[in-house]
């Protein structure tokens, strides 16, 4: 019974989602849109779960005097400061409110910094990938060199054939590989959905027993 109820609900919901794809009638479309709204509502409640988990984990670290508890203290300061500014400051919606300032002047730049680190990681990954130790790595190196040259004016200045080769690499072997992967992914998605609907795949609820 403990497993039958979620399996039945999963089957009914999955079947409805599959069938509605073929039925454009507004009654069915309205039911589909309502289900999506339920998902939004569920997500709002789930954030409470997430916050509880976050607080509990870091509280335990501080309580147990874990070596990295300093980060947990910083997390608590940030969490309660933003909560306080958001809930109790009278004009937290105003552009110059402390809440907005904290968000725009602290979180946004920090996130931008993390994102910008990507450039350095691309360089280090490229350095490793382009070491021509194997045939595949050599092919990758040659293809990447052609594509990079073909995308900048200097490539065309060296030879008009470089942009053409770039286009061919991107539109023929690259696109064919991408489409092959996408077909496999599509079938894999359908198979996974079907296996879950039919109760064949039960790992998502802890296993088959």
List contacts with another protein (CB under 8 A).
18, 21-27, 29, 39, 42-43, 46-51, 53-54, 56-57, 60, 68, 71, 107, 110-111, 114-115, 117-118, 121-122, 124-126, 128-129, 178, 181-185, 187-196, 198, 200-201, 203-209
Minimum distance from residue 146 beta carbon to another protein (Å): 16
Of the pair 87, 115, the CB lying nearest another protein is at 115
Cα(76)–Cα(54) distance, integer angstroms = 10
Of the pair 140, 156, the CB lying nearest another protein is at 140
Minimum distance from residue 135 beta carbon to another protein (Å): 15
Minimum distance from residue 60 beta carbon to another protein (Å): 6
Minimum distance from residue 34 beta carbon to another protein (Å): 14
Of the pair 12, 182, the CB lying nearest another protein is at 182
Of the pair 157, 190, the CB lying nearest another protein is at 190
Of the pair 37, 43, the CB lying nearest another protein is at 43
Instruction: For residue 151, count CB atoms less than 10 angstroms from its CB and return exposed for 0-12, middle for 13-18, buried for 19 or more.
Output: middle
Of the pair 18, 152, the CB lying nearest another protein is at 18
Minimum distance from residue 43 beta carbon to another protein (Å): 7
Cα(157)–Cα(167) distance, integer angstroms = 16
Token pair 């300061």 is at which residue? 77
Cα(91)–Cα(71) distance, integer angstroms = 30
Instruction: For residue 54, count CB atoms less than 10 angstroms from its CB and return exposed for 0-12, middle for 13-18, buried for 19 or more.
Output: middle
* Phi, psi dihedral angles at 95 (to 5 degrees): -60, -35
Minimum distance from residue 158 beta carbon to another protein (Å): 25
Cα(142)–Cα(173) distance, integer angstroms = 14
DSSP string, 43-88: HHHHHHHHHHHHHHHHHHHHHTT-TTHHHHHHHHHHHHHHHHHHHH
């Amino acid at each position: 019974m403990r497993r039958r109820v979620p399996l039945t609900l999963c089957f009914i919901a999955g079947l409805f989602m599959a069938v509605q794809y073929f039925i454009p009638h507004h009654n069915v479309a309205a039911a589909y849109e309502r289900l999506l709204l339920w998902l939004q509502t569920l997500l709002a409640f789930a954030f409470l779960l997430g916050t509880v988990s976050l607080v509990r984990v870091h509280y335990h670290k501080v309580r147990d005097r874990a070596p990295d508890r300093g980060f947990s203290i910083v997390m608590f300061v940030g969490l309660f400061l933003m909560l306080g500014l958001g809930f109790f400051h009278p004009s937290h919606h105003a552009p110059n409110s402390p809440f907005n300032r904290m968000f725009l002047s602290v979180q946004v730049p920090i996130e931008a910094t993390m994102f910008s680190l990507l450039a350095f990681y691309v360089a280090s990954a490229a350095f490793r990938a382009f070491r021509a130790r194997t045939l595949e790595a050599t092919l990758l190196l040659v293809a990447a060199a052609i594509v990079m040259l073909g995308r900048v004016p200097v490539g065309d200045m060296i030879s008009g054939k470089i942009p053409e080769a770039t286009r061919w690499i991107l539109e023929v072997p690259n696109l064919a590989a991408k489409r092959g992967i996408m077909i496999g992914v599509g079938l894999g998605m359908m198979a996974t959905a079907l296996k879950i609907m039919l109760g064949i795949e039960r790992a998502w609820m802890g296993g088959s027993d």
